[in-house]
């Protein structure tokens, strides 16, 4: 059966090996990973009008086991996909990590997503080993992480999707924005023990033994400075919860104190803080039982407050023969790091560190393309830097 599938998309693989390679950066191209128990739904949001041209697509997922044991993951393709080939090849990397190589391939001019810009690929299924608990991270791989299953570090590799258009003779790679990895935790169900409605203590372990397995763990937590005295804490909405609590500490692994409690309608909250202090935040969800007692889920991973993502503008100065990047100041930023994309290695490389909100590139060449992104950082007292999110990539082509 496997040999038959290989024969069906043999031409597709040849396209990847020999066709012209282009890199396209689009702010509207993103991915969404949604956790439901031990399953992760994978969906793409593609450019308007782009789905009509996609006849074949390749996407690589990685699964990194953080604790416990799990079986080899599997993938279930979504119903309604019209591709003739739907293949999910699973390979094991180092220390129990996995890569799931997804290939969809249809006939020339066949619309495999039926015109939908929100293209649901399918569901990644993570199965425990003999009922044992486990925690794993799942995400979309970039070029370098795809072979080992190791998660991507420090923004060096950005998640990508590759597709073949209706002409059948060119393959394009799109960088995926907002494609953050997700945490999947499997814990054997235990009878819920409500906490009798008592106010949580300042110890962040409080509530984790009160039915935490039945309440979704909050993921995607970020904390961004709004101004010198307020931070916006946000997170991914969890299903089936009644509200959230925001906790804060001056140290990553220190004692956390409850600062805010909000309803399930919210997935962000402004939190006041003292000017000049560096704080870490955790969020946990809760449900309220019939007696009015709260049952708490596990705390999210800690997230430091960071400067906001810069909004970068790129202009070509032909008189000076250089690219000029400009952006507005991010609150509490001590500096900015500039990264340039190498189209040969398909990786970003740090090229400069500046204090002001401008950067001049090296001399440019006619007919070449250049791509940059920027992120702000704040220095701690010990000299270590806390980095904010990357700006959207900025691409210029020199005439």
- What secondary structure does DSSP assign to 115-175, as a single string? T-SEEEEEEEE--BSTT--EEEEEEE--TTGGGT-PPP-TTSS--EEEEE-TTSSEEEEEE
What is the enclosing helix (H) or strand (E) of 16?
helix 10-18
> What number of other Cβ atoms are within 10 A of residue 292's Cβ?
9
Which position has the token pair 């370098």? 144
> What's the CA gap between 200 and 202, in Å, rounded?
7
> What's the CA gap between 138 and 103, in Å, rounded?
18
Q: What are phi and psi of 140, to 5 degrees?
A: -95, 130
pTM: 0.50
pLDDT given for residue 71 in this prediction: 86
3-state secondary structure of 94: helix
pLDDT given for residue 244 in this prediction: 94
> What number of other Cβ atoms are within 10 A of residue 196's Cβ?
10
CB < 8 Å & 24+ apart, contacts of 264-271:
264/237, 264/238, 267/234, 267/235, 267/236, 267/237, 268/232, 268/233, 268/234, 268/235, 269/232, 269/233, 269/234, 270/226, 270/230, 270/231, 270/232, 270/233, 271/223, 271/230, 271/231, 271/232, 271/233, 271/246
Give me the tens of pLDDT residue by residue for the chain, a chain 399 residues long: 544 444 444 444 433 333 333 334 444 467 778 887 788 888 877 655 555 566 778 889 989 888 888 888 999 888 767 777 888 888 877 666 888 988 887 665 556 665 555 677 888 998 887 767 888 888 888 754 433 333 443 344 677 777 776 555 556 777 776 677 888 887 765 544 544 444 444 444 444 444 545 788 999 999 999 998 899 999 999 888 999 999 999 999 999 999 999 999 888 999 998 877 889 999 999 999 888 889 999 999 999 999 999 999 999 999 999 999 999 999 999 999 999 998 888 889 999 999 999 999 999 998 889 999 999 999 988 888 999 999 989 999 888
pLDDT given for residue 371 in this prediction: 93
pLDDT given for residue 182 in this prediction: 82
pLDDT given for residue 114 in this prediction: 58
Q: Which tokens go with 227?
A: 């101004």
Which residues face 254 on adjacent strands?
none
pLDDT given for residue 136 in this prediction: 86
Domains of the chain: 2-185 (2.60.40.680), 189-306 (2.60.40.10), 313-397 (2.60.40.10)
> What number of other Cβ atoms are within 10 A of residue 268's Cβ?
14
Distance of CA 352 to the CA centre of its chain: 25
């Amino acid at each position: 059966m496997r040999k038959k599938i290989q024969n069906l998309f043999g031409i597709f693989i040849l396209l990847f090996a020999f066709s012209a390679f282009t890199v396209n950066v689009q702010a509207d191209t993103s991915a969404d990973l949604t956790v439901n128990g031990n399953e992760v739904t994978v969906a793409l949001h593609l450019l308007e009008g782009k789905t009509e041209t996609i006849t074949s697509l390749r996407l690589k997922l990685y699964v990194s086991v953080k604790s416990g044991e799990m079986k080899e993951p599997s993938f279930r393709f979504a119903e309604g996909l019209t591709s003739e080939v739907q293949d999910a090849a699973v390979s094991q990397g180092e220390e129990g990590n996995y890569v799931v190589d997804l290939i969809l391939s249809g006939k020339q001019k066949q619309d495999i997503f039926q015109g939908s810009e929100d293209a649901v690929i399918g569901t990644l299924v993570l199965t425990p080993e003999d009922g044992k608990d486990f925690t794993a991270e799942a995400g979309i791989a970039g070029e370098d992480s795809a072979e080992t299953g190791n998660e991507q570090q420090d923004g060096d590799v950005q998640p990508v999707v590759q597709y073949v258009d209706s002409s059948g003779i060119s393959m394009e790679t799109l960088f995926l924005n907002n494609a953050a990895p997700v945490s999947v935790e499997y814990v054997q169900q235990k009878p819920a023990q409500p906490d009798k409605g008592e106010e949580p203590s300042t110890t962040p372990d409080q509530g984790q033994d009160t039915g935490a397995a039945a309440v979704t763990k909050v993921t995607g937590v970020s904390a961004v400075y709004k101004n010198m005295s307020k931070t916006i804490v946000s997170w991914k909405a969890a299903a089936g919860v009644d509200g959230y609590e925001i906790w804060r500490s001056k140290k990553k692994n220190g004692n956390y104190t409850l600062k805010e409690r909000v309803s399930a309608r919210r997935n962000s909250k402004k939190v006041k803080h003292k000017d000049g202090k560096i704080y870490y935040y955790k969020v946990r969800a809760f449900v309220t039982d019939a007696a009015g007692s709260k049952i708490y889920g596990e705390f999210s991973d800690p997230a430091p407050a960071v400067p906001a993502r810069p909004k970068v503008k790129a202009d070509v100065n032909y008189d000076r023969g250089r690219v000029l990047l400009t952006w507005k100041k991010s609150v509490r930023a001590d500096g900015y790091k500039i990264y340039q994309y190498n189209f040969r290695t398909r990786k970003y490389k740090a090229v400069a560190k500046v204090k002001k909100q401008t950067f001049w590139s090296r001399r440019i060449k006619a007919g070449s393309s250049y791509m940059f992104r920027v992120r702000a950082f704040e220095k701690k007292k010990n000299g270590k830097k806390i980095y904010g999110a990357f700006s959207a990539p900025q691409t210029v082509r020199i005439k």
